[in-house]
């Protein structure tokens, strides 16, 4: 049997046709496809303004800059995430302040946020890790009390929701990623979702050299534009996102019903988990699982093996015990919508055999 991949972008004839259409048009850089992609994405975040950029990291960076965050500010962020969540903060000149996670959700532990708030704190960056929304009602309460901005890192959480309200609509700004391993792709790309028109205006200017009208630069800006080629792919993917998401959830439910003696992901009541990753907690001998799964041709991964605060790029001496524990215990298995029933059966039987032998 062929290898079962951990992640696999779903690309078909619709994406091919869309790219060829743009190539034939001769308009490759940011143009009408990007504008349409923004409008269509907006429909999934309750009509909020959307600004497309070249990556999820750029989206987070501009989202923070649009709120005036910079040198001298502190921004609260979990350490159990991809480094980009903290990189974007550091790139503004602000200091990331790392907070531990809740062991059940892998998301920021809202009970620990207030202890880290100082006079310099300007914002909380929440990460909806693995496709599960953070506890946004509690985060909003803290943000209101201390007058802090909320920025959602929704790179892994397209269409995730709490009581029907989609991620991207809880904060002052949010960032989505369209990297090929995410729940939908544009090749590379990102989307900024904004609550206030002033921030939207800033993001549109900042992504394009500070220009609205060509050669009339109003401020110093970047070139973080998305191309029409990428937007054309993203638009096709967006049409299939809901059905892929349902498939991910179905696969996750199958795993959770059939895996034995393994800690499976927790979804709190009222939350829609979109399973960017299906992540197990392996309490003893994760190495054995990794080796035996690989031997059987089953893709698996550790997201993330190192706490962001301990990476050489940050090197902070803080103690976040649940984050450290998670780096040692997590194991993600294939949950992408291209998986076949036969492959799911193999994943389950292999895992059940490894966990039974391990006792
Ligand atoms: C992928 C990812 C990003 C960055 O997105 P890119 O498009 O790769 O720049 C940021 N945060 C999290 C949690 C991610 O998973």
Measuring CA to CA, how many Å separate 181 from each of 43, 156, 177, 313, 334? 23, 9, 10, 24, 11
Q: Which of 84, 86, 108, 186 to mutate to test the pocket of ligand 1 (most atoms within 8 A of CB)?
A: 84
Q: Indicate if ligand 1 lies below 6 Å from the C-beta of 63.
A: no
* 22 CA from centroid of ligand 1 (Å): 26
- Mean pLDDT for the stretch of residues 72-96: 98
* 261 CA from centroid of ligand 1 (Å): 32
Q: Are 308 and 188 in contact (CB under 8 A)?
A: no
- Mean pLDDT for the stretch of residues 93-106: 98
Ligand 1, atom 1: closest residue by C-alpha: 155
Q: Indicate if ligand 1 lies below 6 Å from the C-beta of 208.
A: no
Q: Which of 7, 62, 63, 156 to mutate to test the pocket of ligand 1 (most atoms within 8 A of CB)?
A: 156
- Per-residue pLDDT of 9-39, as tens digits, reads 999 999 999 999 999 999 999 999 999 999 9
Q: Residue 197's pLDDT is what?
A: 98
Residue carrying the six token digits 């001298």: 72
- Per-residue pLDDT of 282-305, as tens digits, reads 999 999 999 999 999 999 999 999
> Nearest Cα to 34, choosing from 233, 242, 237?
233
**pLDDT above 60 for 231:** yes
Q: Which of 62, 153, 176 to mutate to test the pocket of ligand 1 (most atoms within 8 A of CB)?
A: 153
3-class secondary-structure state, position 291: helix
Q: Residue 302's pLDDT is what?
A: 98
Question: pTM of the prediction?
Answer: 0.98
Length of the chain: 359
Opening angle at CA 163, ends 79 and 280, nearest 5: 45
Q: Residue 189's pLDDT is what?
A: 98
**pLDDT above 60 for 160:** yes
Task: Give exposure, 205-233, as e/b (b: 16+ Cβ within 10 Å).
Answer: bbbbbbeeeeeeeeeebbebbbbbbbbbb
Q: How confident is the model at residue 126 (pLDDT cuts 50, 70, 90)?
A: very high
**pLDDT above 60 for 229:** yes
Q: Residue 359's pLDDT is what?
A: 56
* 77 CA from centroid of ligand 1 (Å): 14
Q: Residue 271's pLDDT is what?
A: 98
Q: How confident is the model at residue 274 (pLDDT cuts 50, 70, 90)?
A: very high
**pLDDT above 90 for 358:** no
Q: Residue 2's pLDDT is what?
A: 78
3-class secondary-structure state, position 126: strand
- Per-residue pLDDT of 310-347, as tens digits, reads 999 999 999 999 999 999 999 999 999 999 999 999 99
**pLDDT above 70 for 1:** no
Structure tokens at 29: 């850089």
Share of the chain above pLDDT 90, in %: 97
Ligand 1, atom 14: closest residue by C-alpha: 155
* 224 CA from centroid of ligand 1 (Å): 15
Share of the chain above pLDDT 70, in %: 99
Tell me the average pLDDT of the chain: 97
For the purposes of burial, counting CB atoms within 10 Å of the CB of 182, is it exposed (0-12), middle (13-18) or buried (19 or more)? buried
């Amino acid at each position: 049997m062929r290898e079962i991949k951990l992640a696999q972008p779903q690309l078909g004839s619709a994406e091919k046709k869309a790219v060829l259409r743009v190539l034939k048009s001769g308009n490759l850089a940011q143009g009408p496809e990007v504008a349409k992609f923004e409008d269509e994405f907006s429909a999934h975040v309750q009509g909020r303004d959307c600004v497309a950029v070249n990556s999820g990291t750029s989206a987070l960076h501009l989202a923070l800059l649009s709120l005036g965050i910079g040198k001298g500010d502190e921004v609260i962020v979990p350490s159990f995430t991809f480094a980009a969540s903290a990189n974007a903060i550091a790139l503004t000149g602000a200091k990331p302040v790392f907070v531990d996670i809740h062991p059940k959700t892998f998301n920021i532990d809202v009970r620990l946020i207030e202890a880290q708030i100082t006079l310099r704190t300007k914002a909380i960056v929440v990460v909806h890790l693995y496709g599960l929304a953070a506890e946004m009602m509690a985060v909003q309460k803290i943000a209101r009390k201390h007058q802090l901005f909320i920025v959602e890192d929704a790179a892994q959480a397209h269409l995730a929701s709490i009581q029907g309200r989609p991620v991207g609509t809880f904060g002052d700004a949010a960032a989505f990623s369209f990297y090929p391993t995410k729940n939908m792709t544009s090749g590379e790309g990102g989307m900024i979702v904004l609550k206030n028109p002033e921030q939207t205006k800033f993001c549109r200017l900042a992504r394009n050299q500070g220009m609205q009208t060509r050669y009339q630069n109003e401020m110093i800006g970047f070139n973080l534009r998305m191309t029409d080629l990428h937007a054309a792919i993203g638009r096709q993917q967006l049409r299939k996102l809901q059905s892929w998401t349902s498939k991910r959830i179905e696969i996750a439910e199958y795993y959770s019903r059939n895996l034995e003696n393994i800690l499976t992901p927790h979804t709190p009541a009222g939350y829609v988990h979109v399973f960017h990753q299906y992540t197990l907690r392996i309490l003893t001998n994760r190495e054995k699982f990794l080796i035996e799964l690989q031997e059987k041709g089953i893709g698996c991964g550790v997201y993330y093996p190192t706490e962001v605060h301990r990476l050489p790029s940050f090197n902070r001496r803080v103690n976040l015990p649940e984050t450290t524990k998670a780096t040692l215990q997590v194991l993600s298995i294939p949950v992408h919508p291209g998986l076949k029933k036969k492959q799911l059966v193999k994943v389950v039987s292999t895992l059940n055999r490894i966990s039974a032998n391990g006792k």
